[in-house]
Amino acid sequence: MVGKTEKTSKKNTQGLSVTREEDFSEWFTQLIQKAELIDYSPVSGCYILRPNAYHIWERVQAYFDTLIKKDGVRNVYFPLFIPESLLTKEKNHVEGFAPEVAWVDYGGDTKLGERLAVRPTSETIMYDAYSKWIRSHKDLPLRLNQWCNVVRWEFKHCTPFLRSREFLWQEGHSAFATEQEVINDTQKIIDFYERTFREIYAIPTLQGVKSESEKFAGASYTLSVEAFLPNGKAIQGATSHNLGQNFAKAFDIKFKDGQQQDQFVWQNSWGLSTRSIGIMIMMHSDDKGLVLPPKVALRQVVIVPILFDDSKKEVLAQARVIQEKLEKKGISVELDDREDYSPGWKFNEWEMKGVPVRIELGPKDLEKKQVMVARRDTGEKQALLIAGIDNEVSLLLEQIHDDMYANAKKLLDENIIEVDSLAKAEKVVSGGKLVFAPWCGDGDCEEKFKEKSGAKSLNRPFEQPKLKKDQKCFACGEKAVFWFYFGKSY
């Protein structure tokens, strides 16, 4: 068995030394290295996204970028550096971010006149420009997005994907003439995130409103999508913030309305990051390694020919025909024709790397004009005729996506427990499930529950079950105002 932090060549990548059940965190750490998703860098808390991981991000980018562009959002690029004086313009915002800003103070040998923040997020530098660009209601709405890196110098324990000092994301920043528009748009973006998690990652999410204490620094309110992982923890997937007029006032972003009156704009900002890749890995993977939803897999199918000296030529020729047929269908295929590895070794390697479908093909299959097809998610194997293999595999990939989603949905649904008292809520949390409870909305109750159980408030679903008449807050016994999700959370 391979030691746990060993940085290794391909030869040593096989096998995880712990199960997901035994040690979730160690399982994750081994898996992301052995599946060649991540490597460590010389800078603590900064990680290398290897091709297998970066491809996932490219698929997410393609999907989400298309969604927002069709909806009228345009892409831009703003500078990485933000002068300290600009970062500190909105009071709540800077309080939220200043403790974890990386500061540049030298260019070559020259000390800078004012130190520069490496962007932790771009509200301040973007809205400085918005205040120049927006003059009239005709300039609205202004809806811009950028795909970029951001830096937050975490002092907590870093974990690849989930908490890293540098990460990749998109940040959208829109300005509108009316409050209703920003309310609608902030919600629409959450719907886009829900679709992205569902359609690309095969992950169901809980959509709702964050509590006051968990909202974005500088926002009126924050909407989120939250996922529930097999280890009993919840995790925030993406957020959309209604900023109200807070930044408009701090940055003096005004427009003349139809009556030539000056008005402050209404703004939102919204982000989805490479953290989502970590969520996906944790959600679907198993003790054999990574399990990838087909839509993000760099290789959707791997063909492993079973090679004997007397039939090698025919088997490889047939394997190439199958590869071509599948590629014509838009399926990405790796033909693993390496001769110095055994089929069994290859099976393990591609299972570790999460390839959704494996096709095995030997001389006996050839005789029967069929191949063996194995699913990575379930391990099921079936014989399929080579004629029509392209259609069959296309359908199978769709089926795999749907089944992975359904499994994750089942996990989520089975782990939401309605409770009406603090004692029950604590029990639910200690059992690794999610609490759904009537809450008065008071921060003290949230805090008290957190101290007792370690659970954080997640969000308040948009669609609320009706509260009973005189329904009481699960924590303080005062009148409940809404239902809310709570759970242990990353």
Residues that bind a second copy (CB under 8 A): 7, 9-11, 39, 41-43, 46-51, 54-55, 57-58, 74-83, 86, 98-110, 115-116, 118, 125, 128-129, 132-136, 138-139, 144, 148-149, 151, 153, 155, 165-166, 168, 340
Q: In whole angstroms, how close is the CB of 63 to a second copy at the nearest point?
A: 16
Cα angle value 170/175/176 (rounded, 5°)? 135
Closer Cβ to a second copy, 125 or 306, answer by number: 125
Q: In whole angstroms, how close is the CB of 136 to a second copy at the nearest point?
A: 7
Q: In whole angstroms, how close is the CB of 143 to a second copy at the nearest point?
A: 10
As beta bridge partners, residue 333 has 301
Q: In whole angstroms, how close is the CB of 92 to a second copy at the nearest point?
A: 17
Q: Could you tell me how far CA 33 lies from the centroid of its own chain? A: 18
What is the C-alpha to C-alpha distance for residues 381 and 286, in angstroms, rounded to an integer? 18
Closer Cβ to a second copy, 34 or 401, answer by number: 34
Closer Cβ to a second copy, 133 or 308, answer by number: 133
As beta bridge partners, residue 370 has 385
Closer Cβ to a second copy, 167 or 436, answer by number: 167
Q: In whole angstroms, how close is the CB of 306 to a second copy at the nearest point?
A: 21
The answer to whether the CB of 270 falls within 8 A of the CB of 188 is: no
Closer Cβ to a second copy, 75 or 180, answer by number: 75
What is the C-alpha to C-alpha distance for residues 10 and 450, in angstroms, rounded to an integer? 44
Q: In whole angstroms, how close is the CB of 144 to a second copy at the nearest point?
A: 7
Burial letters 161-188, b for 16+ CB under 10 A, else e: bbbbbbbbbbbbbbbbbeeebbbebbee
Three-state SS annotation for 12-75: HCCCCCCCCCCCHHHHHHHHHHHCCCEEECCCCCCEEECHHHHHHHHHHHHHHHHHHHHCCCEE
Closer Cβ to a second copy, 132 or 469, answer by number: 132
Q: In whole angstroms, how close is the CB of 149 to a second copy at the nearest point?
A: 6
Q: In whole angstroms, how close is the CB of 342 to a second copy at the nearest point?
A: 15
Closer Cβ to a second copy, 57 or 449, answer by number: 57
**SS3 state of residue 432:** coil
42, amino acid identity: P
Instruction: Give the sign of the dihedral formed by CA 161, CA 166, CA 172, CA 175.
Output: positive
Q: In whole angstroms, how close is the CB of 146 to a second copy at the nearest point?
A: 8
Cα angle value 200/205/211 (rounded, 5°)? 135
The DSSP result for 121-171, as a single string, is: --HHHHHHHHHHH--BGGG--EEEEEEEEEE----SPPBTTTB-SEEEEEE
Closer Cβ to a second copy, 82 or 322, answer by number: 82
Q: Could you tell me how far CA 39 lies from the centroid of its own chain? A: 19
Closer Cβ to a second copy, 51 or 443, answer by number: 51
